[in-house]
Amino acid sequence: MIGQNVPRTDGVPKVIGTARYIDDVPPLPGELWGVTVRSPVARGVLQRIELDPSFDWTDVTVVTADDMDDEHNVVALIEYDQPVLAKKQLRHMYEPIALIACADRDKAERARAAVKLHIDKQEPVLSIEDSLAAKHVVWGEDNVLKKYEIKQGDAEAAFQSCELVLTGTYRVHHQEQLYIEPQGVIARWFAGQDGQENLKILGSLQCPYYVHKALKKTFDLPDDRAHVEQTVTGGGFGGKEEYPSVVALHAALLAKKSGKPVRMIYGRKEDIEATTKRHPAICTVTIGCKNDGTFVAVKVDCLMDGGAYVTLTPVVLSRGALHACGAYRFQHHHVLAKALATSTPPNGAFRGFGAPQTIWAIERHVDAVARALGRDPHDLRDQNLFNEGDTTCTGQVLSVSVGGRACLDAATKAVDWKARRANIDRFNEKLARDGKRVRRGIGISTFMHGAGFTGSGERRLKGKVAVDLTPGGRLNIRSASTDIGQGTETVFRQIAASVSGVPFEHIDLEVPNTTKVPDSGPTVASRTVMVVGSIVGKAALEVAERVRAEMKDSGGTFAEAGDRLLKRVGGTVSSLQQYEPPVTRQFDEATYTGDAYPCFSWACDVAEVEVDLDTYETRVLKLWSASDVGRVINPILCAGQVEGGTLQAIGWALYEDVVWRPDGSIANARMTNYIVPTAVDAPPFETILVEIPFPAGPGGAKGVGELPMDGGAPAIASAVEHALSHELKWQGSLLPDLPLLPEKIFNRVRQLES
Amino acid sequence: MTGVAGILDGVRFERARSLDEAVSRVGALVSSGEPFHVLAGGTDLVVESHLAPPSPVARPGRTILDISSVPELSKIEDRGDRIRFGGGVTYLTLRREPWASRIPLLARMARDVGAIQIQARGTLAGNIATASPAADGVCGLFPLDTLVGLRSASGERAVPLTEYFTGYKKTQRRPDELIAWVDVRVPARDAKWAWRKVGTRLAQAISKVALAAVIEIDKGIIQYARFGMASVAPVTVSLPSVRALLEGRGVDVDLAALDAAVDRDVAPIDDVRSTGDYRRHVARAVVRELTRSLTT
């Protein structure tokens, strides 16, 4: 089963249209439509909410912060700083202030317009620089949401004896997840058998237990009175990690006050405007090396824009910091990472989770060092890439499933790097001779991504999965890991089938619902297959073994023995497994030393591009990605993850840009203006799955979800620089900042020429 | 017909079956003062109606007059040196034979409009009526000496497309008029033509700059040089200075003079898709590239 291209089990219902997304769930009796009244300013003080007296409010439910006490008016996550509804201080454009529900959707929209907000405007803080300078203090005492320092050796001292020390500053921008299905939930309160109030949330979400936690806090509910169930979810990419808690709390507040079920589904504009995005970052990187290219010391100073509230920023910043030194061997490391608050909507989880930001910086800087040394960017990477036995910035010795070199070698061979680069150079000379206005280029990135939660995260989390025996010798997997399009449903069945020996067709999967499934931990951090999948296998095996013991004792088929066993024990034959992380060197969260991850996934991306010298449009002609994600469970689904994630990286590099107006609002909150690549823009992909097994993963699997987001952008930038190197001369980095929009390249070239 | 639940509640739908019926209904709606929208392909109307709830289009009491089934509007008359396309002709039709070989510029342009779904619904008249300066369809028609046929209950008149737009999303069309047809000149068989769209991506993209051109050369002299350029001014521009520079001259063009002519003809701005500086640069570059291709 493992390693086979089993067709995805959710495929047919999605293709023929029977899969029910949240908007497809039939209306409940009496259901209302909920909408949100949002702040029209990026920063200000709310003085009064006025309901237009000429509007008929009789069939409209209105909820404001006054409907909760302050203790419960929080979105429970890491810090309890974000209110469910703003009461006084408004901290970002689009911040929720009031909620409206009405049976008539059109009237609900009109009611939203009939709420008058009286606000004293304040000057917002809209950039990392302004926040750092504490132009205004918008969070805590100094706008600093979180900071980390990672230190191995003495980088500053080591620079003194390096033959080349080069510093560069690199910037990355917001990115919108742009899942196809916007945020949406249905909330309903109902009386349990004991007469007590229960709350049920149905929704498009990644992490049922995150929503569960938020509901329990705001509504003072015990575990068993908050029920969160995932509906078929049309994409998440991190965007449905923490934000669904906000939508669920809002719908639940309206449902509680109105006494009716409330459906709340965002339109695309509202979804782009109000929900989380990738953290922008500014990273200053210094590399010290010898003249022969041997890296000696690295220092990274990383600033991230967390937005208006803490949300998941500390964790994003942590992952960013831990990946800031790249996949290279240094003797000395120093990373300073700081997240700052601004008056923009909170930035949050997005595939890669901080790593694409810092990997952009280190990869761009390795190219700049190669340029300074007159070296081929491939060869400089080859020289310094981590090998087994090398030590990372936290002092972690890479000892298991270290696939970086295998990926680089596989990509080099597939691309035929040296020959191809030389051919491109010759081709560009011909293009120039013929007066053609395009040039080609090829670029590379090598990178790694820590699999699973950082440090002792998994040990604290204690993720659980249950597998039950059901009639007919079937197994039912109960897990809170959600399939949001990535294929979890299918690969969990493959793992269970492979480990237990029960046929794939005899394995079912419970819909994630906090009342029915144990907390497997969130569906994040490239952990679903490696972490949760490993206990899916264990639990399935344990149940199957019990049935086989029964067969051995009393005979019959597996199904007969299973049914007999069920009857004898009175209905439940089940295995509940808790994840036990492999024993590694303890990670010390105070000093950021030790084993940050049980293992890393590795990759090498190579991009070939064509750049128009008149319009500075870049087309990716081909993208090779050699990825080591351990043993591959389902090659087609896995390649789909690699190609999809890489395409998302291409989007971030070349097309996507959140356009902010000076007042802190978004100018392009539409799919016509927030530009993601289409199928026509997607290059042919050559995906090479390099399988270096990780013994603690199911069948040897590691994580794949985030890795492909990390390396696409720097490989493309490297290729664009190569293409333009025939026309331009520059020092350091030609393209230090994302996105590589034609307008930005045009400005940069003009700046160089003047 | 009643509205689509949840989106168009209370909106009145009417479907015209002939052009006469359509224009008389439009005339009646205009004189009654009732708010109405004309629906052809729907690629603007349907998109706009979702923009800002409560939707400005889908308000109770409004009328949507559907003209997509008016047979006259999908007629095409080939008159040899000119072709008259009904206003309801879609971009997909332009991509197909025999029109694709009669006017390859329009076929090539049509390929870049939205994507196949938009091309199957979107109409020539719809693009002209919406009057966006970014419209590829309008830009593609500009070099073809195009006349726009405006029809009302009181008669029909023809307006040159290059004079049709009077300001940003403003046109010569009266509210009681429908665009019945567009009448285009078929370029000479050996005419050079160009279509260059610089968009935000390769499909489903709005132009940052687009250039359409038809150039006819006889004995080394440019006899006919007509252009359309999108997204560089409040209206689609015909590059009159460039035309004046080229017509009656040889194909060896002074590039500095050409750049200066382009500069006189465009007035690009910064917006959500691009910058004025970039657009000006690209406008010059694509015109230069076009003239370069004349000599090769």
pLDDT, averaged per 10 consecutive residues of chain B (296 residues), comes to 50 93 97 93 81 58 91 97 98 97 97 95 96 97 98 97 96 97 97 97 96 96 97 98 96 95 98 96 97 80
Contact in structure between A139 and A308 (CB atoms under 8 Å) = yes
Distance to chain B for A416, nearest Cα, Å: 29
What's the pLDDT at A44? 98
What's the pLDDT at B4? 43
Predicted confidence band at A754 (pLDDT cuts at 50, 70, 90)?
confident
Q: In this structure, is residue A366 part of a structural domain? A: no
Distance to chain A for B118, nearest Cα, Å: 13
> Residue B133, class by beta-carbon neighbours within 10 Å (0-12 exposed, 13-18 middle, 19+ buried)?
buried
What's the pLDDT at B3? 38
- Say yes or no: A98 and A246 in one domain: yes
Task: Work out the average pLDDT over A221-240.
Answer: 98
| Interchain contact, B115 vs A672, CB within 8 Å | no
Distance to chain A for B83, nearest Cα, Å: 32
| Interchain contact, A105 vs B6, CB within 8 Å | yes
| Interchain contact, B54 vs A678, CB within 8 Å | no
**Among the three residues A238, A265, A292, which one is the final residue of a domain in this structure?**
A265
Host domain of residue A246: 27-122+184-265
A615 vs B9, B198, B277: nearest CB: B198
Contact in structure between A219 and A166 (CB atoms under 8 Å) = no
- Measure Cα distances from B223 to A320, A622, B295 in Å: 62, 43, 15
* Alpha-carbon gap, residue A739 to B200, rounded angstroms: 13
What's the pLDDT at A449? 98
List, in sequence order, the alpha helices (H) in B160-235.
161-164
Q: In this structure, is residue A59 part of a structural domain? A: yes
* Alpha-carbon gap, residue A274 to A291, rounded angstroms: 49
pLDDT tens for A12-67 read 999 999 999 999 999 999 999 999 999 999 999 999 999 999 999 999 999 999 99
- Say yes or no: A223 and A87 in one domain: yes
- Say yes or no: A626 and A706 in one domain: yes
pLDDT tens for A602-661 read 999 999 999 999 999 999 999 999 999 999 999 999 999 999 999 999 999 999 999 999
- N-terminal to C-terminal alpha carbon distance within chain A: 62
- Say yes or no: A504 and A448 in one domain: no
Q: In this structure, is residue A312 part of a structural domain? A: no
- Say yes or no: A232 and A245 in one domain: yes
Q: In this structure, is residue A20 part of a structural domain? A: no
- Say yes or no: A444 and A538 in one domain: no
List, in sequence order, the alpha helices (H) in chain B.
19-32, 45-49, 91-95, 99-102, 104-111, 116-121, 124-130, 136-141, 161-164, 240-246, 255-265, 276-294
Number of domains present in the structure of chain A: 3
| Interchain contact, B204 vs A672, CB within 8 Å | yes
Exposure of A427 in the CB half-sphere (CA atoms within 13 A): 15
- Say yes or no: A437 and A485 in one domain: no
- Say yes or no: A437 and A420 in one domain: yes
Q: In this structure, is residue A288 part of a structural domain? A: no
- Say yes or no: A564 and A601 in one domain: no
Q: In this structure, is residue A714 part of a structural domain? A: yes
What's the pLDDT at A106? 86
- Say yes or no: A446 and A465 in one domain: no
Distance to chain A for B290, nearest Cα, Å: 12
Task: Work out the average pLDDT over A128-151.
Answer: 97
| Interchain contact, A615 vs B275, CB within 8 Å | no
B285 vs A435, A615, A743: nearest CB: A615
What's the pLDDT at A125? 98
Hunting for tokens 């520079």 — which residue is that?
B245
Could you tell me the CATH number of the domain that includes residue A73?
3.90.1170.50
Q: In this structure, is residue A494 part of a structural domain? A: yes
Structural Rg of chain A based on CA atoms: 27
B203 vs A109, A670, A680: nearest CB: A680
| Interchain contact, B202 vs A681, CB within 8 Å | yes
Exposure of A130 in the CB half-sphere (CA atoms within 13 A): 13
Q: In this structure, is residue A584 part of a structural domain? A: no
**Among the three residues A265, A284, A307, which one is the final residue of a domain in this structure?**
A265
Give one DSSP letter per residue of A376-436, joined into a string: -HHHHHHHHB--TT-B-TT--B--S---HHHHHHHHHHHHTHHHHHHHHHHHHHHHHHTT-
Please give the single-letter amino acid code of residue A713. Answer: A
CA geometry: angle B222, B225, B228, nearest 5 deg: 165
- Say yes or no: A507 and A635 in one domain: no
pLDDT tens for A397-425 read 999 999 999 999 999 999 999 999 999 99
Distance to chain B for A52, nearest Cα, Å: 17
Residues of chain A found within 8 Å of residue B206, distances taken between Cβ atoms: 672-673
Could you tell me the CATH number of the domain that includes residue A568?
3.30.365.10
pLDDT surpasses 70 at A552 = yes
What's the pLDDT at B5? 45
Residue of A nearest to B7 (CA): A106
pLDDT tens for A662-682 read 999 999 999 999 999 999 999
Pick left, alpha or beta for residue A353 (phi over 0 → left; psi -120 to 50 → alpha; otherwise beta). left
CA geometry: angle A546, A550, A555, nearest 5 deg: 145
Residues of chain B found within 8 Å of residue A677, distances taken between Cβ atoms: 201
- Say yes or no: A603 and A667 in one domain: yes
| Interchain contact, A269 vs B285, CB within 8 Å | no
pLDDT tens for A471-503 read 999 999 999 999 999 999 999 999 999 999 999
SS3 A657: coil
What's the pLDDT at A252? 98
What's the pLDDT at B2? 38
Interface test with B, best of A178, A675, A745, A749 (most B CBs within 10 A): A675
**Among the three residues A546, A578, A610, which one is the final residue of a domain in this structure?**
A578
Contact in structure between A452 and A481 (CB atoms under 8 Å) = no
Residues of chain A found within 8 Å of residue B285, distances taken between Cβ atoms: 437, 614-615
pLDDT tens for A145-164 read 999 999 999 999 999 999 99
What's the pLDDT at B135? 96
Task: Work out the average pLDDT over A248-264.
Answer: 98
CA geometry: angle A641, A646, A647, nearest 5 deg: 100
What's the pLDDT at B61? 77
Please give the single-letter amino acid code of residue B269. Answer: I
